[in-house]
Protein backbone atom coordinates (compact mmCIF):
# COMPACT_ATOMS: atom_id res chain seq x y z
CA UNK A 1 0.00 0.00 0.00
CA UNK A 2 1.42 3.35 -1.04
CA UNK A 3 1.20 6.13 1.53
CA UNK A 4 0.31 9.65 0.44
CA UNK A 5 3.29 11.93 0.91
CA UNK A 6 2.69 15.27 2.63
CA UNK A 7 2.91 18.37 0.44
CA UNK A 8 6.24 20.18 0.47
CA UNK A 9 4.51 23.54 0.86
CA UNK A 10 1.64 24.18 3.25
CA UNK A 11 -0.31 27.41 3.75
CA UNK A 12 -1.29 28.69 7.18
CA UNK A 13 -3.00 31.65 8.87
CA UNK A 14 -1.54 33.29 11.95
CA UNK A 15 -3.43 35.68 14.20
CA UNK A 16 -0.93 38.23 15.50
CA UNK A 17 -1.60 41.20 17.75
CA UNK A 18 -2.13 43.50 14.78
CA UNK A 19 -4.20 41.14 12.64
CA UNK A 20 -4.07 37.95 10.60
CA UNK A 21 -1.08 36.97 8.47
CA UNK A 22 -0.97 34.31 5.76
CA UNK A 23 2.24 32.37 5.21
CA UNK A 24 3.62 29.34 3.42
CA UNK A 25 5.83 26.82 5.18
CA UNK A 26 8.32 24.38 3.70
CA UNK A 27 8.92 22.27 6.77
CA UNK A 28 12.52 21.13 6.91
CA UNK A 29 15.07 20.41 9.58
CA UNK A 30 17.52 23.25 9.03
CA UNK A 31 17.72 26.82 10.24
CA UNK A 32 14.58 28.87 9.53
CA UNK A 33 14.72 31.34 6.65
CA UNK A 34 11.92 33.92 6.50
CA UNK A 35 11.16 35.68 3.21
CA UNK A 36 9.38 39.05 3.07
CA UNK A 37 8.17 40.17 -0.37
CA UNK A 38 8.49 43.71 -1.66
CA UNK A 39 5.54 46.01 -1.06
CA UNK A 40 2.74 45.33 -3.62
CA UNK A 41 3.91 41.72 -4.12
CA UNK A 42 2.83 38.57 -2.34
CA UNK A 43 4.62 35.48 -1.10
CA UNK A 44 4.43 33.62 -4.42
CA UNK A 45 7.45 35.57 -5.70
CA UNK A 46 9.54 33.56 -3.22
CA UNK A 47 8.26 30.13 -4.23
CA UNK A 48 11.15 29.21 -6.57
CA UNK A 49 13.76 30.25 -3.99
CA UNK A 50 11.94 28.46 -1.19
CA UNK A 51 11.64 25.22 -3.16
CA UNK A 52 15.37 25.23 -3.94
CA UNK A 53 16.34 26.09 -0.38
CA UNK A 54 14.00 23.64 1.31
CA UNK A 55 16.48 20.70 1.48
CA UNK A 56 18.77 22.84 3.62
CA UNK A 57 16.41 24.97 5.74
CA UNK A 58 12.95 25.41 7.17
CA UNK A 59 11.46 28.05 4.89
CA UNK A 60 8.72 30.57 5.62
CA UNK A 61 7.31 33.03 3.05
CA UNK A 62 4.81 35.59 4.32
CA UNK A 63 2.22 37.87 2.82
CA UNK A 64 2.56 41.33 4.30
CA UNK A 65 -0.74 42.71 5.64
CA UNK A 66 -2.85 44.00 2.76
CA UNK A 67 -1.24 41.55 0.32
CA UNK A 68 -2.27 38.08 -0.87
CA UNK A 69 -4.00 36.18 1.91
CA UNK A 70 -3.20 38.68 4.68
CA UNK A 71 -6.08 41.13 5.27
CA UNK A 72 -5.45 44.85 5.18
CA UNK A 73 -5.42 47.08 8.22
CA UNK A 74 -5.78 50.76 8.98
CA UNK A 75 -2.07 51.40 9.47
CA UNK A 76 1.16 49.68 8.46
CA UNK A 77 3.66 50.79 11.07
CA UNK A 78 7.03 49.05 10.67
CA UNK A 79 7.40 48.39 14.39
CA UNK A 80 3.99 46.70 14.51
CA UNK A 81 4.71 44.62 11.41
CA UNK A 82 8.04 43.42 12.77
CA UNK A 83 6.54 42.58 16.16
CA UNK A 84 3.79 40.59 14.45
CA UNK A 85 6.35 38.76 12.33
CA UNK A 86 8.39 37.90 15.41
CA UNK A 87 5.26 36.42 17.01
CA UNK A 88 4.67 34.34 13.88
CA UNK A 89 8.24 33.02 13.86
CA UNK A 90 8.10 32.27 17.58
CA UNK A 91 4.84 30.34 17.15
CA UNK A 92 6.63 27.84 14.91
CA UNK A 93 8.94 26.84 17.78
CA UNK A 94 11.90 26.42 15.48
CA UNK A 95 14.48 26.94 18.26
CA UNK A 96 17.18 28.49 16.05
CA UNK A 97 17.59 32.17 15.23
CA UNK A 98 16.27 32.84 11.72
CA UNK A 99 17.73 34.30 8.58
CA UNK A 100 15.45 37.19 7.54
CA UNK A 101 15.29 38.13 3.85
CA UNK A 102 13.57 41.28 2.58
CA UNK A 103 13.15 42.40 -1.03
CA UNK A 104 13.04 46.01 -2.20
CA UNK A 105 11.57 48.30 0.46
CA UNK A 106 10.94 45.29 2.70
CA UNK A 107 14.70 45.09 3.25
CA UNK A 108 14.02 47.82 5.80
CA UNK A 109 11.62 45.51 7.65
CA UNK A 110 14.17 42.69 7.59
CA UNK A 111 16.86 44.93 9.09
CA UNK A 112 14.45 46.29 11.67
CA UNK A 113 13.56 42.72 12.68
CA UNK A 114 17.26 42.02 13.20
CA UNK A 115 17.55 45.14 15.33
CA UNK A 116 14.75 44.05 17.66
CA UNK A 117 14.93 40.25 17.77
CA UNK A 118 17.55 37.51 17.78
CA UNK A 119 18.55 36.99 14.15
CA UNK A 120 21.28 34.84 12.64
CA UNK A 121 21.57 36.83 9.40
CA UNK A 122 19.69 39.52 7.49
CA UNK A 123 19.61 39.74 3.69
CA UNK A 124 18.56 42.77 1.65
CA UNK A 125 17.69 41.87 -1.95
CA UNK A 126 17.78 44.85 -4.32
CA UNK A 127 16.98 47.21 -1.44
CA UNK A 128 15.09 50.35 -2.38
CA UNK A 129 15.98 53.60 -0.60
CA UNK A 130 13.26 55.57 1.13
CA UNK A 131 12.86 57.96 -1.79
CA UNK A 132 11.73 55.05 -3.97
CA UNK A 133 8.51 54.82 -2.00
CA UNK A 134 7.54 58.42 -2.68
CA UNK A 135 6.60 57.56 -6.26
CA UNK A 136 3.21 56.61 -7.64
CA UNK A 137 2.39 52.95 -8.26
CA UNK A 138 3.32 52.92 -11.94
CA UNK A 139 6.68 54.58 -11.29
CA UNK A 140 7.42 52.24 -8.39
CA UNK A 141 6.61 49.11 -10.39
CA UNK A 142 8.48 50.39 -13.43
CA UNK A 143 11.54 50.85 -11.24
CA UNK A 144 11.41 47.16 -10.35
CA UNK A 145 11.76 46.31 -14.08
CA UNK A 146 9.27 43.46 -14.11
CA UNK A 147 9.84 42.79 -17.82
CA UNK A 148 13.39 41.68 -16.98
CA UNK A 149 12.23 38.84 -14.73
CA UNK A 150 12.99 35.44 -16.31
CA UNK A 151 9.93 34.36 -18.27
CA UNK A 152 9.45 31.10 -16.37
CA UNK A 153 8.85 33.05 -13.14
CA UNK A 154 6.60 35.84 -14.35
CA UNK A 155 3.39 33.92 -13.74
CA UNK A 156 4.24 33.65 -10.05
CA UNK A 157 4.31 37.39 -9.47
CA UNK A 158 1.02 38.58 -8.03
CA UNK A 159 1.12 42.37 -8.09
CA UNK A 160 -1.20 44.87 -6.45
CA UNK A 161 -1.82 48.24 -8.12
CA UNK A 162 -3.48 49.83 -5.10
CA UNK A 163 -2.07 53.35 -4.65
CA UNK A 164 -3.48 53.59 -1.12
CA UNK A 165 -1.62 50.45 -0.07
CA UNK A 166 1.68 51.77 -1.43
CA UNK A 167 1.09 55.15 0.21
CA UNK A 168 0.26 53.52 3.55
CA UNK A 169 3.49 51.51 3.58
CA UNK A 170 5.46 54.51 2.35
CA UNK A 171 4.24 56.59 5.28
CA UNK A 172 6.02 54.32 7.73
CA UNK A 173 8.95 52.98 5.73
CA UNK A 174 10.23 56.19 4.17
CA UNK A 175 11.29 57.48 7.58
CA UNK A 176 13.04 54.28 8.56
CA UNK A 177 16.70 53.55 7.98
CA UNK A 178 17.23 50.08 6.53
CA UNK A 179 19.89 49.10 9.07
CA UNK A 180 20.13 49.96 12.77
CA UNK A 181 22.03 48.77 15.80
CA UNK A 182 21.07 45.31 16.98
CA UNK A 183 20.57 43.77 20.38
CA UNK A 184 22.71 40.85 21.47
CA UNK A 185 24.84 39.17 18.82
CA UNK A 186 25.19 41.19 15.62
CA UNK A 187 23.81 39.19 12.68
CA UNK A 188 25.62 38.71 9.41
CA UNK A 189 24.37 41.31 6.91
CA UNK A 190 24.28 40.64 3.16
CA UNK A 191 23.03 43.08 0.52
CA UNK A 192 22.43 41.58 -2.92
CA UNK A 193 22.13 43.89 -5.93
CA UNK A 194 21.20 43.07 -9.51
CA UNK A 195 23.29 46.04 -10.66
CA UNK A 196 25.68 48.36 -8.81
CA UNK A 197 23.47 50.78 -6.86
CA UNK A 198 23.57 54.41 -7.93
CA UNK A 199 23.19 55.60 -4.32
CA UNK A 200 23.56 54.09 -0.85
CA UNK A 201 20.70 51.68 -0.30
CA UNK A 202 21.63 50.61 3.19
CA UNK A 203 22.18 52.96 6.12
CA UNK A 204 25.39 54.94 5.35
CA UNK A 205 26.25 54.87 9.05
CA UNK A 206 26.26 51.07 8.98
CA UNK A 207 27.39 50.50 5.38
CA UNK A 208 30.64 48.83 6.40
CA UNK A 209 28.70 46.18 8.31
CA UNK A 210 27.00 44.92 5.13
CA UNK A 211 28.64 42.54 2.71
CA UNK A 212 27.73 43.82 -0.75
CA UNK A 213 27.26 41.41 -3.67
CA UNK A 214 26.52 42.62 -7.21
CA UNK A 215 25.16 39.88 -9.47
CA UNK A 216 25.28 41.92 -12.69
CA UNK A 217 21.91 40.71 -13.96
CA UNK A 218 19.01 42.71 -15.44
CA UNK A 219 16.03 43.86 -13.42
CA UNK A 220 15.49 44.23 -9.68
CA UNK A 221 14.72 40.63 -8.75
CA UNK A 222 18.22 39.26 -8.22
CA UNK A 223 16.82 36.22 -6.41
CA UNK A 224 15.11 35.10 -9.63
CA UNK A 225 17.49 36.42 -12.29
CA UNK A 226 20.47 34.70 -10.64
CA UNK A 227 18.62 31.99 -8.76
CA UNK A 228 21.47 29.51 -8.40
CA UNK A 229 23.94 32.10 -7.14
CA UNK A 230 21.38 33.46 -4.69
CA UNK A 231 20.74 30.00 -3.22
CA UNK A 232 24.48 29.47 -2.88
CA UNK A 233 24.84 32.75 -1.01
CA UNK A 234 21.93 31.91 1.28
CA UNK A 235 23.36 28.50 2.09
CA UNK A 236 26.57 30.11 3.33
CA UNK A 237 24.47 31.92 5.94
CA UNK A 238 22.73 28.86 7.39
pLDDT at 176: 67
pTM: 0.93
Separation of alpha carbons 61 and 49, rounded Å: 10
Spans of the chain below 70 pLDDT: 1-7, 130-131, 176-184, 199-207
| Domain 9-235 indexed as CATH 3.40.50.1820 | yes
pLDDT at 200: 55
pLDDT at 6: 55
Task: Please choose, from the candidates 195, 194, 226, 236, the residue with its C-alpha nearest in 3D space to the C-alpha of residue 49.
Answer: 226
The full set of domain ranges for the chain reads 9-235
pLDDT at 173: 86
Query: What digits encode the pLDDT tens for the residues 166-206?
Result: 999 998 887 766 555 555 678 999 999 999 987 655 554 55
Amino acid sequence: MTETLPPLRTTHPFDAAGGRWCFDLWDGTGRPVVFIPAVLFDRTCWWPTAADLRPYATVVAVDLPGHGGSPGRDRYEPDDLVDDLAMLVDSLQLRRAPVIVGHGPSATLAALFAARYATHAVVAVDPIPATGLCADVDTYLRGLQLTEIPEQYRGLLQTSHDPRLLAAYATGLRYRRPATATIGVTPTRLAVHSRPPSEPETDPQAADTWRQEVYDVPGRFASLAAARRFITDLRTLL
